[in-house]
């Protein structure tokens, strides 16, 4: 769907591309960013670009910058302008674009994942929260190579359901969490992201509704949207997704699926209470709705609240609840191993979808994860202690330097969900880019606009990085509040 005429949407798509320090001024970087999108699903031939003034406001730059960028694009033959019709993508712009480029859709998660794709630079990117691998990984990998590798190499290497030893360890992990599980109820995936994608492929059909928490993880909008699903958001309270509004959503939309993140919710960091988990499971069973719970954010501070069993532990007989987890957040993002826990019949169906996707996740990664899982509680606690210290530091820095920002202390997770007073977070995000820090505005977590004044700010960084990042945010905030968007003179 062409959304290019919406200045805010186009600003979200190109904002992260303006972080470079290339020559020619900001207007040329803006022209390059738009040129990179031309020919895609978002900027096809004939697509209308936003008016200069509207795009300037959305990007927090001067109108002269956008005018100069459009002039540059016209000179390249990529766009054309007609009086009364505005500026549109020229037909000649399609030449030289690959078919893959034209089929690649951009969604709400695109700007969030852009920095991962382009790599580090001068900008401090707070678009994602990742930690380096746990030191225990090296020792386990060496042990694996010396003791298990010969046996693994004798194996055929294709295991759509996952290695038996790993499924046994995952089942034990669920047992310890309060949800009795057998290895036959486990399907191993390449991370939690693939797990959600497989479940979406199995349940969601074009036009079907899927209920999610509001706000939610940006990637789910892209996954569910690509399957043709209609996303219906239900707000949260302190205990989790609101049961009264959930009941109304079930009755009105008759959804195919409910997607929740009970431990810990992204982006708010809230922990769904045990009573609320029971209510959600019973409501879904009553209305015949499949529940998909993503518990990938499992790092837990031992000084904090205890974690209830998964939602599946409260499900009535005969209901369908699929529980997703992974080791990426607790151990290392590069260890792309996740899993789905479901009833045996559902696990068999998921395994067939998994086989069609990739014939099975990497065997050596699975074997390494099997060695680590008995220590998963120990590793997540160690990770959580570090996260707690960083969260406290981030809170202190923000209180000192940005006292008018508001947030609630999260119970877990890796980010603060911050409310900006009387400010569109997308505009502030563009100003922050000029000060060398990249943040994700609330619109990425809720496209309805209900959280346009919010920012997701991760704290999973070393102390010097957090200090520098908050300092840059404070300078950007001061400039925006005193002077509005910074002027730019588009001169070479």
- 150, 222: one domain: yes
Residues 355 and 219 in one domain: yes
**What domain range includes position 286?**
136-377
Lowest-confidence range among 3-17, 246-260, 339-353? 3-17
For the residues 9-37, what does the mean pLDDT come to? 76
Would 94 be classed as within a structural domain?
A: yes
Residue in this structure with the two tokens 């949800």, named with its chain if needed = 179
pTM over 0.75: yes
What are the b/e assignments for 91-130, b being 16+ CB within 10 Å?
eebbeeeeeeeeeeebbbbbbbbbbeeeeeeebbbbbbbe
**Is 340 in the same domain as 228?**
yes
Higher pLDDT pick, 256 / 127: 256
Q: How far apart (Å, rounded) are the C-alpha atoms in residues 138 and 144? A: 10
Q: Are residues 427 and 324 in the same domain?
A: no
Instruction: Look at 82-91, 189-198, 468-477 and tell me which has the smallest mean pLDDT.
Output: 82-91
Co-location of 83 and 214 in the same domain: no
Least-confidence region, from 19-33, 171-185, 410-424: 19-33
Per-chain mean pLDDT for the chain: 88
Residue 45 domain flag: yes
The pLDDT tens digits of the residues spanning 361-399 come to 999 999 999 999 999 888 888 888 888 999 999 999 999
Whether 130 maps to a domain, the answer reads no
157 and 274 in a single domain? The answer is yes
Mean pLDDT of 344-365: 96
Q: How many domains does the chain have?
A: 3
pLDDT of residue 19: 61
Q: How confident is the model at residue 485 (pLDDT cuts 50, 70, 90)?
A: low
* End residue of a domain, out of 349, 377, 405: 377
- Answer with the one of 377, 411, 444 that is the final residue of a domain: 377
With beta carbons less than 8 A apart as the criterion, state whether 200 and 229 touch.
Answer: yes
> What pLDDT is stored for residue 452 in this prediction?
95
Domain boundary among 333, 359, 377: 377
In a domain, 124, yes or no: no
> Are 217 and 345 in the same domain?
yes
- Residue 114 counted as domain residue: no
**Residues 147 and 40 both lie in one domain:** no
What does the pLDDT read at residue 309? 95
What's the mean pLDDT in 261-283? 96
Question: What is the pLDDT averaged over residues 105-132?
Answer: 62
Portion of the chain with pLDDT greater than 90, in percent:
65
Which DSSP symbol is given to 144? Answer: I
CA distance 475 to 464: 17
pLDDT of residue 301: 63
With 60 as the cut, is the pLDDT of residue 491 above it? no
Could you tell me if 93 and 206 lie in one domain?
Answer: no
Instruction: Let me know whether 204 and 322 are in one domain.
Output: yes
Radius of gyration of the chain (CA): 24
Does residue 449 have a cis bond before it (omega within 30 degrees)?
no
Q: What is the pLDDT of residue 16?
A: 62
CATH number at residue 327: 3.40.640.10
Tell me, yes or no, whether 68 and 188 share the same domain: no
Q: Is residue 211 part of a domain?
A: yes
Evaluate whether residue 417 is within a structural domain. yes
The pLDDT, as a whole number, for residue 103 is 38
Strand pairing partners for 338?
189, 326
DSSP string of 47-114, one letter each residue: PBPPPHHHHHHHHTS-HHHHHHHHHHHHHTTSEEEETTTEEEE-GGGGTT--HHHHH----TTHHHHH
pLDDT of residue 380: 85
- The first and second tokens of residue 35, run together, are 């040129």
| In the chain, % of residues over pLDDT 70 | 88
Residue 423 in this model has a pLDDT that exceeds 90: yes
In a domain, 119, yes or no: no
Read off the CATH number of the domain in which 74 is found. Answer: 1.10.10.10
Q: Using pLDDT thresholds of 50, 70 and 90, give the confidence band for residue 461.
A: very high
More confident residue, 172 or 106: 172
How confident is the model at residue 94, as a pLDDT? 63
Do 182 and 293 lie in one domain? The reply is yes
Tokens 């987890």 label which residue?
Answer: 325
CATH number of the domain that residue 459 is part of: 3.90.1150.10
Burial of 154 (0-12, 13-18, 19+ CB in 10 A): exposed
Q: Give yes or no for a contact between 419 and 398, defined as CB atoms under 8 angstroms apart.
A: no
């Amino acid at each position: 769907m062409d959304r290019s005429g919406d200045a805010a949407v186009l600003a979200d798509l190109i904002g992260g591309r303006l972080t470079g320090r290339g020559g020619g001024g900001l207007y040329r970087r803006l022209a390059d960013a738009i040129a990179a999108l031309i020919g895609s699903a978002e900027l096809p031939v004939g697509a209308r670009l936003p008016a200069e003034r509207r795009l300037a406001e959305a990007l927090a730059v001067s109108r002269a910058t956008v005018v100069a960028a459009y002039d540059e694009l016209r000179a390249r033959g990529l766009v054309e302008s007609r009086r009364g019709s505005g500026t549109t993508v020229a037909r000649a712009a399609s030449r030289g674009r690959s078919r893959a480029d034209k089929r690649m859709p951009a969604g709400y998660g695109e700007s969030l994942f852009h920095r991962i794709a382009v790599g580090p630079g001068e900008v401090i990117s707070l678009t994602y929260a990742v930690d380096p691998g746990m030191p225990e990984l090296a020792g386990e990998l060496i042990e694996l190579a010396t003791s298990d590798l010969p046996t693994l190499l004798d194996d055929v290497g294709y295991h759509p359901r996952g290695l038996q030893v790993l499924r046994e360890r995952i089942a034990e992990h669920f047992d310890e969490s309060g949800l009795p599980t057998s290895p036959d109820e486990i399907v191993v995936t390449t991370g939690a992201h693939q797990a959600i994608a497989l479940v979406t492929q199995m349940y969601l059909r074009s036009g079907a509704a899927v209920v999610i928490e509001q706000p939610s993880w940006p990637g789910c909008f892209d996954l569910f949207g690509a399957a043709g699903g209609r996303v219906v958001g239900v707000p949260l309270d302190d205990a989790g997704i609101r049961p009264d509004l959930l009941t109304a959503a079930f009755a009105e939309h008759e959804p195919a699926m409910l997607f929740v993140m009970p431990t810990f919710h992204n982006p708010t960091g809230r922990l769904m209470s045990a009573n609320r988990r029971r209510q959600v499971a019973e409501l879904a069973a009553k209305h015949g709705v499949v529940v998909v719970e993503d518990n990938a954010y499992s790092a837990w501070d031992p000084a904090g609240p205890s974690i209830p069993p998964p939602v599946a532990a409260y499900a009535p007989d005969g209901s369908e609840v699929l529980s997703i987890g992974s080791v990426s957040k607790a151990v290392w993002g590069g260890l792309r191993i996740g899993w789905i826990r479901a009833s045996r019949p559902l696990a068999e169906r998921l395994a067939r979808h998994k086989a069609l996707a990739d014939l099975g996740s990497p065997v050596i990664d699975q074997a390494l994860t099997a060695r680590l899982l008995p220590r998963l509680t120990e590793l997540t606690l160690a990770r959580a202690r570090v996260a707690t210290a960083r969260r406290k530091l981030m809170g202190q820095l923000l209180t000192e330097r940005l006292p008018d920002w508001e947030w609630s202390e999260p119970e877990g997770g890796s980010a603060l969900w911050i409310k900006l007073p009387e400010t569109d977070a997308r505009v502030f995000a563009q100003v922050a880019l000029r000060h060398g820090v990249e943040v994700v505005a609330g619109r990425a977590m809720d496209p309805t606009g209900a959280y346009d004044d919010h920012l997701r700010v991760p704290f999973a960084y070393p102390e010097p990085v957090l200090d520098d990042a908050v300092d840059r945010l404070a300078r950007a905030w001061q400039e925006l509040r005193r002077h509005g968007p910074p002027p730019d003179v588009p001169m070479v």
